[in-house]
C-alpha cells in the first residue's frame, strides 16, 4: 500500500493542505503558507510554532516549552508533531476575537455634536415607487421608456441611466405587480442611475456597507440607509496576514509572481466573508446592499484594487491614486449588488491614507477654531494637527512594538493579551487580560502601562536601563538580563514572561517617533504642545490606552487629562458617515485636499526632535511638567 | 471490454458529442441539438439528414436518395450511419460561405454623396499623448492626479474619469518611458473617460468593430478609427441557429429552462469568434479594439444582452428597450478591450429594430425632399417610406419563403444555391449557382426569377396555378403535381428539384405581404407607388435580386428601373457609420425617433390590401403597367 494522504485544515484561515502521512504540522503549515515561525530552527525549543489541535489524533514529541495543562488541551508544537490522520488545527496566535464594535447604533444617537461630518441621513440611494400604466397597442413604448417616463414625472430628472443588471430583470419586474415597481435609484449630479427594479411589495430595504480595511483587521458595518441605523458589525483578521504582518512585507510579497493577485483575492475574500456574515445577522442577501464605502491605508486600497503597490515605498513615494471616482461592485469584486457604487475615502499620500481622512471626518477637528491633534498610532503612526482652517499631517515609522511585534512578550490586542498593568504597593504586578484567560503576552496598551510603572517606580531610569532596584526581579537568559513580568507557572504558555532592555529600547524608539513627529508638526506652524486644545486617539491601540501612563513615558504631550478623547475605530466610523450622505463624501475630499503633508524622511529637523525624544519621558522635562512633579514627589528617588 | 466511446465533431458548429459505438449519426446530432431534420422518420427516405463525413471511417446502409457520386465524396444520411470511430462531420446545409463583404474600404471612398449619415471621421475614441514630469518629493502627487493634470492641460477637460482597467496598469505604464504615455480617451459630453494608458511607442492604433447581428448570419467589420478604413470583414452563421431558424422559434427556445442563457452564450460566441477572426487578419489582439457598434433586430439584441424576449411576441409587443445608453464590453461579455464602449443602433419597436434604423442611416432617405422606400425583405419584411421630414415604417410577416424555408427546393443564399434562373427560347432552364457547384436548391432571388419566368412564359396563371402549357414539365409525387426545375441527374442531392403549387402559393403569400405593406404605408400618407422616387433594397436577398422579375411577380412596385438601388448589408454599413462619429449615433437616434410605426396586425385595411396582392402581379393591373404590357405583347397568351 502506498503512502496515505491526509487533510489538515488550519483555522482561523480555513486553509486545507493535503500532505502524506508523517509530515510534520510545521511542514504542512509551510505548504499552506501560514504565518508560523520557528526561530529555533524547528528544534522544539522556542515554542513559537504552538498550535492547538481541535480534531483528530496526532503524535508529538514532548517539549519543555509546553506545560502539561496546555498539552491536555491539545496544544502542541507544530515542528514536533507528526500527522497520522486528518486534522483540524487552530493557530492560537491568530484566534479571532468575538465581534467587538466601536461604532454602534448608539454612536449615531450620541455623537451628533462631537464630529465634523454631517449627520443628515441623505444617502444617494433611494427607492422611487412608480406605477407604469399597462402598455397598449397605441402606447406600446418599451419597458425602459415607460419606466423612464414615470421616473421623470416623479423625480424631474431627465438623464436616467438603467444599469445592465436592472435591465436584465426589467420585463418581469414591471409585469409582476401590474406595473407597480420600487426602483432603487442612485442620484449622481444631473443624472439618475437605476440599480435595480423590484416589483411592488418585494419588502426590500436599502442597505449600505461601511468597511475599514486595516493591515491586520478588517471591520464591516451594515447600515439601514433609510434610518441610518447600524444593524450589524463584523470584524476579522485580514487574511493577507499570512503574506506578511506589515505593509512593507505585503508590498514585497506583491513583487513575487502572482503575489499581487493573491493579496487582492485574500482581501476580497476577507471583505466578502465579513459582509456576508453581517448580512446573515439581519437575514439579508448581500446582493441587497446597494452602496459601500471603504476606508483603509493607501497600500491596503491599492491591494484591494489589484494595483501595483511598489512605488508607494520607493522614493518619491507616489501611489497610483489618492482619490478615486466611485466604481461599481462587480468591477471591484465585492459581492454585494453588482451595480452598487463603491466609494473610497480619499488618501493624502502614500503614508496618510483614507483611514485617516475618514477618521478626521468623525472628529470635531474641523468644527472649531481651536487647534486639535489626531493620533493613530499603529505600526505606522499618523498624526494630524489643525483646526477648521488648516490641517497638517505626517506619518512616522513607529515600528510594530505597540502592535505586538518587536518585543519578546508583545502580542496584538486579542484574547489572552494583558491590556492593563499596575504595580501594587509591594511591587507586584496586577493586570487584566482580554477575555479573562491566563496571559499569553502583552499588547500595546499593556506595554505602555508596564513601561510607565517600571519607570515611575524606579525600576528603569530615564534611558530605559534597569536600575539597582530592579535587580531582584531580573532573570538572565540568552538575550541578557530581563525583567520578570509573570512567571512560567501563571503564564498561558508555561514560559516566563520577560521584558529585556532591548525590548525597552524598542518601545522608547517607538514612542519617540510618535512624540517627535507631533513636536515637528506643531513647530511647523509655530505652535507648542500646550497650544493643543484636544487630542483624539484613534485605533484599537487607543481604545485601551491609559493616558496617564502614555504621558509618563512621553508618548503623548503632557496636557490636562480632560483634553484627551478616544475615538475607537474612527476609520470605520468615518466610512459609515460617508455612507450616509454625498455631503459627507464631498466633505472628506475637502479634508484630504486641505491636509498639508510633511515628509519626515527628508526633514532634517525631525532627527533632532527624535533624538531628544529617546528619553523617558523626554530630554526636555519642561515639556512634561506633571511627570516631573511625580518624579520630584518622591515616588522616584531622583528628580532632574 | 465495455462499450467504446467515440467523439463526433459537427462542423460548422464545432460541437463535439461523446457517444457509445453503434450510435447513429442522427442520434449523435440530436444529442448535440444540431439542426438536422428527418421528415421521413429516420427511414433513410427523405434525404434531409444528409451530412458529409470529413474524417473517420463509418458504416452506412445504402440509400436511394444518395447518388453514387455523393457517396464517394463522403456524403451519407445521418439516420442510416453507424458510428464506429471518432468522426468529423460537416452539415453541408450550413456550410459557411467564404467571406463576402458588401461594406469594403471602397464603400468609404465611393459613397459619400449617397447616404444620409455623415462621413466625417470623428470617433469618440482618440489617443492623447502626454508627458508626465518625473515625480519628486516636492511634487509627489499620485500617478492618477499627474495624468489628469496633463490631460487637462492638453484637452481642457476637467471631469476626467479613469477606468478600472487603466488604473490597474497605470503605475507601470507611466514609468516605462519616463512619463511619456499615449492615453486612449473616450469623450463623453463634458467628460473624458480614460480607457487605457500605453507607454509611448507601444505602436498601438485605435480600432473599432461594427457588427450586424442577423437571425441567420452575423457579420463584423474591423475599422481603423484614425483613417476610417475597414481593414477586415468576417461573417458566419449565428450559432443560435441550432435553437431555431427564425425569431419566433428563438423566443420560444428562450422560454425553456436555461434557454435564454444558452442563446446569449451562443450569440456571444459567434460574435467573439468573428471579432477574433477579423482581428487576426490584421494581426491584432482583440483587446486593442476600443469601441463597438451593434445593429440587429430587436429580438437578437435582447438575446445578446440576456433579456427576456417573450413580450416581444405577445400583444401589445413591448420590448424591454428600444434605445440603450452605451454599456462597456466586459458587462456585455464582448471580448474586446474590457472598458470599450458598446453602442447599439436604436430600435423603433419589437419588429423594427436597430438593423433598420442603421440601414436608413446609410441610405439617402433623409437627404432629400423626395419620397423614398426602403425594403428589407427577409423572414420578416421591414419597410420604411419617407423623406427628410417624415418616416413611416411597418413590419410584415413575409414568411421564410425567400429565406429558403417553406418550399421544398428552397435554401438560403449559400454555396450550392441557384441564385438566378432564366428560361431560354426552348423553355429550358438556364441558371447560375453560388460557388459554381451542382445545384442543391434555390435561394430567394432564384425563386423570384423562377416564379417570374413561369408566369411570363405561361406555365402558371395569375393565381399561381399550373396551366396546360406546363403539363409536359409536371411530375407527380406524394405532394401532388410539381414542376420539374432540375432532374435528379444534375442536382447535387441526386433528387429531382421540384416546385409544387403549394410552394407557389407560399411564395405568392410572401410577395403579397410585402407589396400590400408597401401600399398601406403609402396610403397612410396619401401617396401612391408612382410617387416613390427611389427604392432601396437591403439585405442578402436584395443583393442577387433581379428587379425586373421582382416587379413581374408583384413583389415591388412597377417603377422605372433606374429608381431601384441595392444596399447590400445596410445594417452592417450603418453600424460602421455609427462607429465613425458621435454625430452619426445621434443622427440614427433622430431617425428612430422620427419613425412612425404602423402595426399591421391590428390594421383592418391591411387584410384588404393583402387579399388584392395574392395575384400575379396583383388584382389591380393598373399598378403594374409594364407587366401588363409584356403580357399583352404576346409572350403570354391572355391579357386582362
pLDDT tens per residue, range A310-340: 999 998 999 999 999 899 999 999 999 999 9
Q: Tell whether B603 is within 8 A of chain A (Cβ).
A: no
The distance of B308 to chain A (nearest Cα, Å) reads: 6
Predicted confidence (pLDDT) at residue A355 exceeds the cutoff of 50: yes
| pLDDT 10s digits, B403-429 | 777 788 888 777 888 988 988 888 888
Q: What percent of chain A shows pLDDT beyond 70?
A: 94
What percentage of chain B reaches a pLDDT higher than 70?
A: 94
Q: What is the pLDDT of residue B545?
A: 84
The CATH architecture that domain B365-400+512-632 belongs to is 2-Layer Sandwich (3.30)
Strands A191-199 and A180-188: antiparallel
- The mean per-residue pLDDT over the stretch B196-223 comes to 91
Q: Would an 8 Å CB–CB cutoff place A603 in contact with chain B?
A: no
Give the number of residues written for chain A: 640
Please list every residue in chain A whose beta carbon sits closer than 8 Å to the beta carbon of residue B136: 316
CA distance A432 to A425: 17
Q: Do A322 and B136 touch (CB under 8 A)?
A: no
CB pair distance less than 8 Å for B318 and A135:
yes
A107 pLDDT band, cuts 50/70/90, is low
Interchain contact, B141 vs A332, CB within 8 Å:
no
Distance from CA of A131 to the nearest CA of B (A): 16
**Residue A121 pLDDT class (50, 70, 90 cuts):** confident
Chain A contact set for B319 (CB, 8 A): 142-143
* Nearest CB to B168; choose among A145, A161, A306: A306
pLDDT at A602: 79
Return residues 350-379 of B near A (CB < 8 Å): 350
Longest dimension (CA), chain B: 100
Of B143, B330, B349, the CB nearest to A320: B143
pLDDT tens digits along B132-170: 999 998 888 999 999 999 999 999 999 999 999 999 999
For residue B321, the chain A residues in CB contact (below 8 A) are 142-145, 162, 167, 170
Lowest mean pLDDT across B471-475, B504-508, B617-621: B471-475
Asked if the model's pLDDT at residue B448 lies above 80, the reply is: yes
What does the pLDDT read at residue B46? Answer: 74
Q: Where are the alpha helices (DSSP H) in B431-500?
A: 444-456
What contacts B445, CB < 8 A, 6 or more positions away? B413, B419, B420, B541, B543, B544, B545, B546
Sheet of B75-77, strands arranged across: B15-20, B5-11, B87-90, B50-55, B75-77
Q: Chain A contact for B390, CB < 8 A? A: no
Interval B368-410: pLDDT, tens: 889 999 999 877 889 999 998 999 999 998 777 887 777 888 8
Cβ pair B315:A175 closer than 8 A: no
B141 to chain A, any CB pair closer than 8 A? The answer is yes
Q: If pLDDT is split at 50, 70 and 90, which confidence band does B634 have?
A: low
CA-based nearest distance A598→chain B, Å: 10
Domains A5-94 and A125-199 alike in fold: yes
Chain A residues with CB under 8 Å of B307 CB are 167-168, 170-171
Q: What is the pLDDT of residue A442?
A: 93
B322 contact partners, CB below 8 Å, separation of at least 6:
A141, A142, A144, A145, B298, B346, B347, B348, B349, B592
> Where are chain B's structural domains?
5-94, 125-199, 209-355, 365-400+512-632, 406-507
Label residue A610 by pLDDT band (50, 70, 90): very high
Q: Which residue of A has its CA nearest to B600?
A: A137
Q: Is A314 helix (H, G, I), strand (E, B) or coil?
A: coil
> Would you call A162 an interface residue with chain B, using a CB distance cutoff of 8 Å?
yes
Rounded to whole angstroms, the Cα distance separating A460 from A449 reads: 13
Q: For residue A95, what pLDDT is reported?
A: 53
Q: What pLDDT, on the 0 to 100 scale, is given for residue A348?
A: 95
Q: What is the mean pLDDT of residues A35-52?
A: 78
Range with the lowest mean pLDDT among A231-240, A584-593, B572-581, B629-638?
B629-638
Q: Which one of B139, B141, B166, B171 would you mutate to disrupt binding with A, by most A Cβ within 10 Å of its Cβ?
A: B171
Low-confidence winner among A280-284, A544-548, B43-47 (lowest mean pLDDT):
B43-47
Residue B299 in contact with partner chain A when CB distance is under 8 A? no
What are the tens digits of pLDDT across the range A424-445? Answer: 888 888 898 888 888 989 989 9
Is the pLDDT score of B433 beyond 70?
yes
Q: Do B321 and A167 touch (CB under 8 A)?
A: yes
Are the beta carbons of B324 and A602 separated by less than 8 Å?
Answer: no
Tell whether A135 lies on the interface with B, counting CB pairs under 8 A. yes
Write down the pLDDT at residue B221: 94
- With beta carbons under 8 A apart, name residues in chain A contacting B171: 307-308, 310-311, 320
What average pLDDT does this structure show over A229-252?
88
- B347: nearest CA in chain A? A142
B-chain residues within 8 Å CB-CB of A318?
A: 135, 140-143, 146
pLDDT recorded at residue B542: 67
Q: ω before A316 within 30° of 0 (cis)? A: yes
The whole-number average pLDDT for the span A207-221 is 93
The answer for B 436-495 residues in CB contact with A (under 8 A) is none
d(CA B148, CA B154): 10
In three-state secondary structure terms, B588 is: helix
Residue A290 has pLDDT above 90, yes or no: yes
Strands (DSSP E) contained in A380-494 are 380-386, 391-397, 417-423, 429-433, 441-442, 474-477, 480-486
CA separation for the pair A227, A472 (Å, rounded): 60
Residue closest to A515 by CA, chosen among A555, A565, A558, A559: A555
ipTM over cut 0.85: no
Topology of the domain covering A125-199: Ubiquitin-like (UB roll) (3.10.20)
Confidence check: pLDDT of B217 > 90:
no
For residue B307, the distance in angstroms to the closest alpha carbon of chain A comes to 5
Is A158 near chain B, with CB under 8 Å?
A: no
CB contact at 8 A, B603 and B327: no
User: A104 pLDDT exceeds 80?
Assistant: no
Count of CB atoms within 10 A of residue A120's CB?
A: 11
For B60, B219, B509, the CA distances from B285, given in Å and listed in that order, are 44, 19, 48
Region of poorest pLDDT, from A370-374, B16-20, B281-285, B508-512: B16-20
Residues B571-594, mean pLDDT to the nearest whole number = 92
pLDDT of A101: 39
The DSSP code sequence of B192-239 is EEEEEEEETT-----EEEEEEE-SSEEEEEEEETTT--EEEEEEEE-G
Over residues A553-602, the pLDDT tens digits come to: 999 999 998 888 888 788 998 999 999 999 999 999 999 999 999 988 77
Predicted local distance difference test score (pLDDT) of residue A102:
42
- Put simply, whether A38 touches B (Cβ < 8 Å) is no
- The residue of chain B nearest to residue A600, with distances taken between CA atoms, is B137
The average pLDDT across A78-85 equals: 92
pLDDT-based confidence at B437, cuts 50/70/90?
A: confident
What pLDDT sits at residue B93? 63
Strand A341-344 and strand A372-377: pairing? unpaired
**CB–CB of A320 and B141 under 8 A?**
no
Chain A interface, mutation test: which of B136, B140, B304, most A Cβ atoms within 10 Å? Answer: B140
The residue among B135, B167, B596 with the most chain A CBs within 10 A of its CB, best to mutate, is B167
Residue A100: is its pLDDT beyond 60? no
Average pLDDT, chain A: 88
Query: How far apart are alpha carbons A620 and A515 in whole angstroms?
Result: 12
The whole-number average pLDDT for the span A52-66 is 86
Identify which of A131-140, A242-251, B339-348 has the greatest average pLDDT.
Answer: B339-348
What is the model's pLDDT at position B96? 47
pLDDT at B105 (0 to 100): 47
What contacts A271, CB < 8 A, 6 or more positions away?
A: A211, A213, A218, A220, A304, A334
Does the CB of B320 have a partner CB in chain A at under 8 Å? yes
pLDDT in tens, A481-519: 899 999 888 888 888 899 999 999 999 999 999 999 999
CATH architecture of the region B209-355 = 2-Layer Sandwich (3.30)
- The DSSP output letter for B469 is G
pLDDT tens figures, B75-114: 899 999 999 999 999 877 665 443 333 444 455 455 555 6
If one looks up domain A5-94 in CATH, what number appears?
A: 3.10.20.30
**For range B495-513, the mean pLDDT:** 91
- Asked if the Cβ–Cβ distance from B323 to A145 is below 8 Å, we say yes
Q: Report the CATH number of the A208-355 domain.
A: 3.30.420.480
pTM, full prediction: 0.83
Q: Please tell me whether residue B20 adopts helix, strand or coil conformation.
A: strand
- Which residues of chain B have a CB within 8 Å of the CB of A332? 164
> Coil, strand or helix: which one is B576?
helix
What confidence tier does A288 reach under pLDDT thresholds 50, 70, 90?
A: very high
**Cα(A177)–Cα(A168) distance, rounded to whole angstroms?**
17
What pLDDT does B491 receive? 86
Question: Per residue in A456-482, pLDDT tens?
Answer: 999 999 999 999 988 888 888 777 889
Amino acid at each position: 500500500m502506498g503512502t496515505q494522504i491526509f487533510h489538515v485544515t488550519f483555522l482561523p484561515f480555513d486553509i486545507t493542505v493535503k500532505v502524506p502521512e508523517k509530515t510534520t504540522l510545521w511542514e504542512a503549515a509551510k505548504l499552506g503558507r501560514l504565518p508560523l515561525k520557528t526561530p529555533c530552527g524547528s528544534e522544539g525549543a522556542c515554542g513559537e510554532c504552538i498550535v492547538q489541535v481541535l480534531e483528530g489524533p496526532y503524535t508529538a514529541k514532548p517539549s519543555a516549552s509546553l506545560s502539561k495543562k496546555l498539552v491536555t488541551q491539545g496544544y502542541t508544537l507544530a515542528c514536533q508533531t507528526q500527522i497520522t490522520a486528518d486534522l483540524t488545527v487552530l493557530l492560537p496566535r491568530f484566534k479571532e476575537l468575538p465581534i467587538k464594535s466601536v461604532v454602534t447604533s448608539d454612536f449615531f444617537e450620541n455623537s451628533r455634536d462631537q464630529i465634523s461630518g454631517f449627520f443628515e441621513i441623505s444617502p444617494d440611494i433611494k427607492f422611487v415607487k412608480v406605477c407604469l400604466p399597462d402598455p397598449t397597442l397605441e402606447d406600446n413604448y418599451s419597458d425602459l421608456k415607460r419606466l423612464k417616463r414615470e421616473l421623470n414625472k416623479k423625480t424631474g430628472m431627465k438623464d436616467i441611466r438603467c444599469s445592465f443588471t436592472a435591465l436584465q430583470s426589467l420585463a418581469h419586474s414591471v409585469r409582476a405587480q401590474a406595473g407597480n415597481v420600487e426602483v432603487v435609484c442612485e442620484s449622481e449630479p444631473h443624472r439618475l442611475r437605476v440599480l435595480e427594479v423590484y416589483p411592488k411589495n418585494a419588502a426590500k430595504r436599502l442597505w449600505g456597507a461601511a468597511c475599514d480595511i486595516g493591515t491586520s483587521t478588517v471591520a464591516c458595518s451594515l447600515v439601514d440607509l433609510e434610518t441610518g441605523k447600524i444593524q450589524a458589525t463584523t470584524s476579522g483578521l485580514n487574511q493577507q496576514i499570512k503574506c506578511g504582518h506589515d505593509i512593507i512585507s505585503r508590498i514585497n510579497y506583491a513583487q513575487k509572481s502572482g503575489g499581487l493577485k493573491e493579496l487582492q483575492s485574500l482581501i476580497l475574500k476577507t471583505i466578502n466573508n465579513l459582509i456576508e456574515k453581517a448580512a446573515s445577522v439581519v437575514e439579508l442577501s448581500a446582493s441587497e446592499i446597494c452602496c459601500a464605502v471603504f476606508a483603509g491605508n493607501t497600500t491596503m486600497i491599492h491591494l484591494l484594487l489589484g494595483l501595483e503597490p511598489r512605488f508607494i515605498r520607493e522614493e518619491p513615494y507616489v501611489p497610483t491614486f489618492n482619490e478615486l471616482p466611485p466604481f461599481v461592485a462587480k468591477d471591484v469584486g465585492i459581492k454585494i449588488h453588482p451595480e452598487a457604487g463603491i466609494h473610497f475615502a480619499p488618501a493624502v499620500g502614500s503614508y496618510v491614507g483614507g483611514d485617516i481622512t475618514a477618521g478626521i471626518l468623525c472628529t470635531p477637528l474641523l468644527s472649531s477654531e481651536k487647534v486639535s491633534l489626531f493620533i493613530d498610532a499603529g505600526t505606522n503612526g499618523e498624526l494630524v494637527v489643525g483646526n477648521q482652517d488648516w490641517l497638517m499631517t505626517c506619518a512616522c515609522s513607529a515600528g510594530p512594538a505597540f502592535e505586538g511585534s518587536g518585543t519578546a512578550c508583545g502580542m496584538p490586542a486579542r484574547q489572552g493579551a494583558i491590556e492593563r498593568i499596575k504595580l501594587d504597593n509591594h511591587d507586584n504586578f496586577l493586570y487584566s487580560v482580554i477575555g479573562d484567560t491566563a496571559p499569553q503576552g502583552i499588547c500595546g496598551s499593556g506595554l505602555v502601562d508596564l513601561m510607565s510603572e517600571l519607570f515611575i517606580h524606579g525600576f528603569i531610569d530615564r534611558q530605559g536601563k534597569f536600575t539597582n532596584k530592579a535587580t531582584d526581579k531580573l532573570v538572565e537568559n540568552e538575550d541578557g538580563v530581563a525583567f520578570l513580568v509573570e512567571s512560567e507557572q501563571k503564564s498561558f504558555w508555561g514560559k516566563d514572561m520577560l521584558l529585556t532592555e532591548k525590548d525597552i529600547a524598542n518601545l522608547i524608539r517607538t514612542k519617540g517617533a510618535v512624540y517627535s513627529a507631533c513636536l515637528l508638526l506643531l513647530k511647523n506652524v509655530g505652535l507648542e504642545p500646550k497650544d493643543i486644545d484636544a487630542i483624539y486617539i484613534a485605533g484599537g491601540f487607543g481604545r485601551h490606552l491609559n493616558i496617564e501612563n502614555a504621558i509618563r513615558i512621553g508618548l503623548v504631550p503632557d496636557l490636562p487629562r480632560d483634553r484627551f478623547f478616544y475615538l475607537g475605530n474612527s476609520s470605520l466610523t468615518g466610512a459609515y458617515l460617508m455612507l450616509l450622505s454625498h455631503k459627507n463624501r464631498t466633505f472628506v475630499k475637502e479634508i484630504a485636499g486641505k491636509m498639508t503633508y510633511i515628509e519626515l524622511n527628508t526633514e532634517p529637523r525631525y532627527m533632532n526632535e527624535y533624538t531628544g525624544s529617546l528619553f523617558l519621558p523626554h530630554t526636555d522635562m519642561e515639556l512634561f511638567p506633571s511627570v516631573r512633579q511625580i518624579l520630584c514627589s518622591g515616588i522616584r528617588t531622583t528628580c532632574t
